[in-house]
């Protein structure tokens, strides 16, 4: 039998076909195609099946990567899918949008000298094959339980928890203020990274498994937390972080200086066929404009690449640190550069200039000074280094903080940290309120989809334990 594994010595790393920048600049379709079966099997066969799989250690879900690579290399795809799905509710989503270069692939043992196995693309291939073959099934609990759970937020954390709890037979109700399921998967992350039908397909499956979604339902407006607690045996708060960080610069209030998420939501909604007056009026449309995006994270990368696709005249990204120290994925920077984005490293805005709308950004050069207590070098402005950039749309992508959840939910007794994230007991994932759990960005601060899924799964397990203990206590009381 031909050697199916350890092929990294003779076979180079390959990714699925990537569309050329000239083509993809003009549409919002995903930029990578899919592996053909032979290519997926061959690439999976590059795995060295090392003794300590650092890819697995550095995957937040602890995915059994070497096992599903081996099964793929052997053409046993249904089993590969079962292994992949055992630890991950949405492997096709992680395969597309995890920053693999910082997680599994970045820690692949053969990375040193041979380039890593293309883990993310193979995970996507396995799961897309499973969908095509009809192997992906809705939750089918062995028995129905009487207790119900309420989940606030239909993002990755809430959805992963919902599926895990439904599989155990609970009546699961998910509440979300948006009109679609997916949270930032739908309204934050652009199509060219994750097409919306991928998320909609999961929505359909979760509903088919018996999960009830209450959309356009905002906790704090349509019900308070107390009302929800009265309805359900346990509650999970997975409401994400949405308060945009601002920048203290003269002129920040000028027209066409906009928040990243407003800009991305408008673009995503437009793509979904919704009416978006602020886009149609041109305020949130980059077409024909000189665009300056401020920030260096994933959100900034999504903004610059969206602006390119909307037909901006020029797109620049201003970031106060250098390329090596940016929080965004290196892979995304490469994609953006290929698509024509100009990065202005070590630069920060001083002022936004213009009459009623912005016309220029005055920026200054920075250098990286001594490291602070977190170990990161602090950027400091260089004297007399100001320069002007033409800009008729400025997008602020400086990160997100939590909203005031206790006030919004009418629950002042809900404890939060000094950053406003919800405080939990990390062993039980319970908040300061009995039977109220929390997971995802609202606990960690802005993070990653894969961490949201992990937290949602962990919270579901803890909620299950809590509900079983509660049911046992009620039974014992009734028997007395």
Name the residues that contact ligand SF4, by CB under 6 A.
59, 61, 63, 65, 88, 94-95, 98, 100, 103-104, 119-120, 123, 450
If contact means CB under 5 to 8 A according to the sort of partner, which of ligand FAD, ligand SF4, none does residue 95 touch? ligand SF4
- Shortest distance, position 385 Cβ to ligand FAD, whole Å: 30
CA distance linking residue 178 with residue 176, whole number of Å: 5
Contact 350, 249 (CB under 8 A): yes
Q: CA nearest 107: which of 66, 160, 156?
A: 66
DSSP characters over 406-468:
HHHTT-TTS-B-TTSPBP-BTTTTB-SSTTEEE-THHHHSS--HHHHHHHHHHHHHHHHHHHH
43 versus 88: smaller Cβ distance to ligand SF4: 88
103 versus 397: smaller Cβ distance to ligand SF4: 103
Contact 194, 120 (CB under 8 A): no
How many residues form the binding site for ligand FAD (CB under 6 A)? 36
Residue 36 burial (CB count, 10 A): 12
Which pair of tokens denotes residue 249?
Answer: 């610069």
- Shortest distance, position 390 Cβ to ligand FAD, whole Å: 25
**Binding of residue 264 to ligand FAD (CB under 6 A):** yes
73 versus 411: smaller Cβ distance to ligand FAD: 411
Binding to ligand FAD (CB under 6 A): which residues in 372-411?
Answer: 408
250-262 core/surface letters (b: 16 or more CB in 10 A; e: else) = ebeebebbbbbbe
**Binding of residue 448 to ligand FAD (CB under 6 A):** yes
48 versus 421: smaller Cβ distance to ligand FAD: 421
C-alpha dihedral sign at 71, 76, 82, 84 = positive
Residues near 426 by beta carbon (within 8 Å), at least 6 away in sequence: none
Longest Cα–Cα distance in the chain: 81
If contact means CB under 5 to 8 A according to the sort of partner, which of ligand SF4, ligand FAD, none does residue 327 touch? none
If contact means CB under 5 to 8 A according to the sort of partner, which of ligand FAD, ligand SF4, none does residue 360 touch? none
**Binding of residue 262 to ligand FAD (CB under 6 A):** no
If contact means CB under 5 to 8 A according to the sort of partner, which of ligand FAD, ligand SF4, none does residue 302 touch? ligand FAD
Contact 154, 174 (CB under 8 A): yes
Among 292, 307, 449, 460, binds ligand FAD (CB under 6 A): 449
**Binding of residue 328 to ligand FAD (CB under 6 A):** no
DSSP characters over 83-152:
HHHHH-S-HHHHHHHS-TTTSTGGG-TTHHHH----HHHHHHHHHHHHHHHT-------SS--S-EEEEE
- Shortest distance, position 103 Cβ to ligand SF4, whole Å: 4
Among 79, 325, 447, 470, binds ligand FAD (CB under 6 A): 447
**Binding of residue 44 to ligand FAD (CB under 6 A):** no
Contact 305, 339 (CB under 8 A): yes
87 versus 267: smaller Cβ distance to ligand SF4: 87
Binding to ligand FAD (CB under 6 A): which residues in 147-166?
Answer: 152-158
C-alpha dihedral sign at 58, 64, 70, 75 = negative
**Binding of residue 347 to ligand FAD (CB under 6 A):** no
- Shortest distance, position 78 Cβ to ligand FAD, whole Å: 27
CA distance linking residue 157 with residue 137, whole number of Å: 20
Residues near 86 by beta carbon (within 8 Å), at least 6 away in sequence: 64
If contact means CB under 5 to 8 A according to the sort of partner, which of ligand SF4, ligand FAD, none does residue 251 touch? none
4 versus 444: smaller Cβ distance to ligand FAD: 444
- Shortest distance, position 239 Cβ to ligand FAD, whole Å: 4
If contact means CB under 5 to 8 A according to the sort of partner, which of ligand FAD, ligand SF4, none does residue 346 touch? none
Query: Phi and psi (nearest 5°) for 137?
Result: -115, 150
CA distance linking residue 293 with residue 341, whole number of Å: 10
CA distance linking residue 17 with residue 258, whole number of Å: 35
DSSP 312: -
61 versus 198: smaller Cβ distance to ligand SF4: 61
If contact means CB under 5 to 8 A according to the sort of partner, which of ligand SF4, ligand FAD, none does residue 240 touch? ligand FAD
Among 285, 298, 392, 458, binds ligand FAD (CB under 6 A): 298
**Binding of residue 175 to ligand FAD (CB under 6 A):** yes
Among 109, 206, 450, 460, binds ligand FAD (CB under 6 A): 450
- Applying CB under 6 A, which residues contact ligand FAD? 97-98, 152-158, 175-178, 183-184, 188-189, 193, 218-220, 238-240, 264, 298-299, 302, 408, 440-441, 447-450, 452
């Amino acid at each position: 039998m031909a050697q199916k594994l350890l092929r990294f010595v003779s076979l180079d790393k390959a990714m699925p076909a990537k569309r050329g920048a000239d083509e993809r600049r003009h549409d919002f379709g995903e930029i990578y195609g899919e592996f053909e079966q032979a290519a997926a099997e061959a690439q999976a066969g590059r795995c060295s099946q090392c003794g300590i799989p650092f890819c697995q250690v550095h995957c937040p879900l602890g995915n059994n990567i070497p096992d599903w690579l081996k099964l793929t290399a052997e053409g046993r795809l249904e089993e590969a899918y079962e292994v992949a799905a055992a630890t991950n509710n949405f492997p096709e989503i992680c395969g597309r949008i995890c920053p693999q270069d910082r997680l599994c692939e970045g820690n692949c043992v053969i990375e040193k000298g041979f380039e890593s196995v293309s883990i993310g693309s193979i995970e996507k291939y396995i799961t897309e094959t499973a969908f095509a073959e009809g192997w992906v099934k809705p939750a089918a609990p062995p028995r129905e339980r009487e207790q119900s759970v309420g989940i606030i937020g239909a993002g990755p954390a809430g959805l992963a928890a919902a599926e895990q709890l439904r599989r155990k037979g609970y009546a699961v109700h998910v509440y979300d203020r948006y009109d679609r399921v997916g949270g930032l998967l739908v309204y934050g992350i652009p199509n060219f990274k994750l097409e919306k039908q991928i998320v909609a397909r999961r929505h359909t499956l979760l509903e088919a498994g018996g999960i009830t979604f209450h959309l356009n339902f905002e906790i704090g407006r349509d019900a308070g937390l107390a009302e929800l607690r009265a309805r359900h045996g346990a509650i999970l708060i997975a409401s994400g972080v949405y308060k945009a960080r601002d920048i203290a610069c003269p002129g920040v209030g000028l027209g066409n200086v906009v928040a990243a998420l407003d800009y991305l939501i408008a673009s995503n909604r437009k793509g979904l066929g919704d009416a978006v007056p602020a886009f149609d009026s041109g305020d949130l449309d980059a077409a024909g404009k000189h665009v300056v995006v401020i920030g260096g994270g994933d959100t900034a990368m999504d903004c610059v690449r969206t602006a390119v696709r909307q037909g901006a005249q020029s797109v620049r990204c201003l970031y106060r640190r250098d390329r090596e120290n940016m929080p965004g994925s290196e892979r995304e920077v490469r994609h953006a550069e290929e698509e024509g984005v100009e990065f202005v490293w070590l630069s920060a805005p001083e002022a936004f200039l213009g009459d009623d709308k912005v016309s220029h950004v005055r920026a200054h050069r920075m250098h990286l000074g001594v490291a602070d207590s977190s170990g990161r070098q602090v950027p400091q402005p260089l004297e007399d280094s100001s320069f002007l950039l033409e800009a008729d749309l400025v997008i602020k992508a400086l990160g997100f903080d939590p909203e005031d959840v206790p006030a919004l939910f009418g629950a002042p007794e809900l404890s939060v940290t000094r950053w406003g994230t919800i405080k939990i007991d990390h062993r039980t994932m319970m908040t300061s309120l009995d039977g109220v759990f929390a997971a995802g960005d609202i606990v960690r601060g802005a993070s990653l989809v894969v961490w949201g899924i992990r937290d949602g799964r962990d919270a579901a397990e803890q909620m299950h334990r809590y509900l079983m203990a509660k049911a046992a206590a009620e039974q014992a009381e009734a028997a007395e």
